[in-house]
Amino acid sequence: MNLTKSKAALLAGCALFATIGGAAARDDPVKATMIIYLDPSVQFFNPVVNGARDAAAAFNVDLDVQYANNDPVRQNDLIESAVATGVDGIAVAISSSDAFDDSICAAVEAGIVVIGFNNDDLEGADGNCRRAYVGMDEFASGYELGIRMIEAFDLKEGDVVFNPREIPEASFAVARGGGIEKAMSEHGITVETVRAGLDPAEAQNIMARALIANPDIKAVFGTGSVTSTVGAGAIKDAGVDVPFGGFDLAVEIVDAVESGAMFATMDQQPYLQGYYPIAQIAMAARYGLTPTDVDTGRGAFLNQERIGVVKPFIGTYR
């Protein structure tokens, strides 16, 4: 963490305690902005927003939900606009380890409670001024999925696996993919990857073509909700029979796991990624309570045996 960030964090701590009692001394709602780095069409974030709105109702928070549409410039503008409007807190998906450092540090320096959710700086608190992070330990989850598939399918030294990534430079892809790569490298297994993009139909075609082009691929790892949603279809389109594991939840993912077309998915409990940041912003603004990190991905490995429990809650709480 550089000196600018350190100074900003120190000043922010002073500013936070100087403003405690502002919202707490009145019955006015705490004001918070939630910034999602993609657009509203990405269904993964529906439970996130549900959780945030439930927390806002429970803790009397005036909540504004904004979408950056995968545009770092827009996301920085949204952060700066939230600061300018005088919000008490910002919940923001830190989808890049570098792009939002300055705007987040400026917000924290202004005494605003900033909590990262869903995506974090790859260096965690050492790389960003945010007060806390609510989300999956993405590197650990990628590593766990990799080890589980190595053991379940007898992957071995010299094998090749395929790990398509929606946005390869995004922090979630770097972390999850890095965990998968670590597991594979420990066993002498090569990882191939491509940019799959965020459009499901295009991603499925890209993945199918890659599988056809390399018949030596022994397993497929989805990196995010798009590649995991279309992975079983891509394998079918390519006419191959290889094991497949991935991340997140959608109706298609649950169906694939239930049918055996997908080995397992790593769920990160997105409802909690919306609820906890807003709740913590309210408690920090009103009572000076310190925001804390929350790992929403712990124990969230869902295979055929466990997937049925979450199926009724897809799109709302899971």
User: What confidence tens digit (pLDDT) does each residue in 140-191 have?
Assistant: 999 999 999 999 999 999 999 999 999 999 999 999 999 999 999 999 999 9
Q: Which two tokens stand for residue 167?
A: 């946005």
**What average pLDDT does the chain have?**
92
Q: 160 with 218: CB under 8 angstroms?
A: yes
Spatial distance between the Cα atoms of 260 and 210, rounded to a whole number of angstroms = 22
Provide mean pLDDT across the span 103-124.
97
- Are 3-135+269-297 and 138-267 in the same CATH fold? yes
> Per the confidence metrics, is the pTM higher than 0.85?
yes
Give the confidence band of 23 by pLDDT, cuts at 50, 70, 90. low
pLDDT of residue 298: 82
Tell me the pLDDT tens digit for each residue of 77-113. Answer: 999 999 999 999 999 999 999 999 999 999 999 999 9
Task: Look up the CATH number of domain 3-135+269-297.
Answer: 3.40.50.2300
- For the chain, which residues make up each domain, given as ranges? 3-135+269-297, 138-267
Q: Which two tokens stand for residue 220?
A: 């497929």
pLDDT of residue 279: 98
Q: Which two tokens stand for residue 110?
A: 């202004």
Report the relative pairing of strands 301-303 and 264-266 from DSSP bridges: antiparallel
CATH class of the 138-267 domain in this structure: alpha beta
* Amino acid at position 252, single letter: E
- For 50-111, what is the HEC assignment? HHHHHHHHHHCEEEEEEECCCCHHHHHHHHHHHHHCCCCEEEECCCCCCCCHHHHHHHHHCC
